């Protein structure tokens, strides 16, 4: 089994939810951590938790919605530290708004955070991995990256884009022994729906019932890390909602009937 002990791991979206659990569990494995988020205060708390288990944990807060800030931060990290052994693109934002009500500026913001930031960071660390002939890249998608769902048009679009980009990347870098894993979480107990944005770009502020009763972020992170270590191309993480992915694949007619009966709220 692969170990990340004393290897440099960079995680975005690490101040809460899945990202926080990834950081803590990898710290317990002895990984050397770089953690990032737009919330510097919460990130600092996570760093303190991680330092109880690992000798190295550095914080780099930055805003995924600003491509120049993403690029500059990535260049700083790559120039400052040794080769990044594992990059987990995990930061992101969700959406709760109808297509007809959502201005294109919101569509662009979500794509910038949930997709283009992943592309920028991955391209920044890739040369070092290629030179070393080893490395791991992971991207947090969603089951919404496998099918569209009401109120999540831009979010689903960004998650679909993640699949296209990272599947292509996986095929291209196979000769360099670099592993690429895409995670497709379903309903996980995080604050993603609370922090989702509406058509005005304001926080949705409500906890989805499905989210509240979803899989714990701790268990999600455990399965995610295990999949990365096993070099799995992809992993679905969740409860019964994961069945929707398979229903769409094998029974598309049934899937579309189910989705169109869902009432946006």
Instruction: Give the catalytic positions in this structure.
Output: 155
Helix (H, G, I), strand (E, B) or coil at 146: coil
Helix (H, G, I), strand (E, B) or coil at 84: coil
Rounded Cα–Cα distance for residues 114 and 110 (Å): 6
Dihedral (CA of 99, 209, 223, 121) sign: positive
Query: DSSP label at 213?
Result: T
Rounded Cα–Cα distance for residues 46 and 40 (Å): 10
CA 36 vs CA 46, 73, 128, 152, 209: distances in Å:
10, 10, 20, 25, 28
């Amino acid at each position: 089994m692969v170990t990340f002990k004393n290897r440099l791991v960079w995680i975005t979206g690490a101040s809460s939810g899945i990202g926080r659990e990834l950081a803590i569990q990898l710290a317990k494995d002895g990984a050397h951590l770089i953690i990032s988020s737009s919330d510097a205060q919460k990130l600092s708390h996570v760093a303190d938790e991680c330092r109880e288990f690992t000798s190295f944990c550095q914080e780099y807060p930055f805003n995924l919605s600003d491509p120049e800030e993403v690029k500059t931060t990535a260049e700083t990290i790559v120039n400052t530290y040794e080769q990044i052994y594992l990059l987990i693109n995990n930061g992101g934002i969700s959406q709760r708004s109808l297509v007809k009500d959502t201005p294109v500026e919101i569509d662009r913001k979500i794509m910038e955070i949930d997709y283009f930031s992943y592309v920028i960071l991955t391209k920044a660390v890739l040369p070092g991995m290629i030179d070393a002939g080893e490395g791991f890249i992971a991207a947090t998608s969603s089951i919404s990256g496998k099918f569209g769902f009401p109120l999540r048009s831009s979010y689903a679009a960004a998650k679909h884009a993640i699949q296209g980009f990272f599947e292509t990347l996986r095929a291209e870098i196979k000769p360099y022994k670099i592993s690429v894993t895409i995670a497709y979480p379903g309903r996980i107990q995080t604050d993603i729906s609370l922090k989702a944005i509406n058509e005005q770009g304001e926080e949705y502020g409500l906890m989805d019932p499905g989210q509240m009763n979803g899989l714990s972020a701790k268990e999600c992170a455990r399965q995610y890390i295990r999949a990365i270590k096993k070099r799995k191309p992809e992993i679905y993480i969740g409860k019964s909602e994961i069945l929707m992915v398979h229903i769409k694949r094998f029974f598309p007619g049934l899937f579309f009937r189910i989705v169109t009966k869902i009432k946006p709220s």
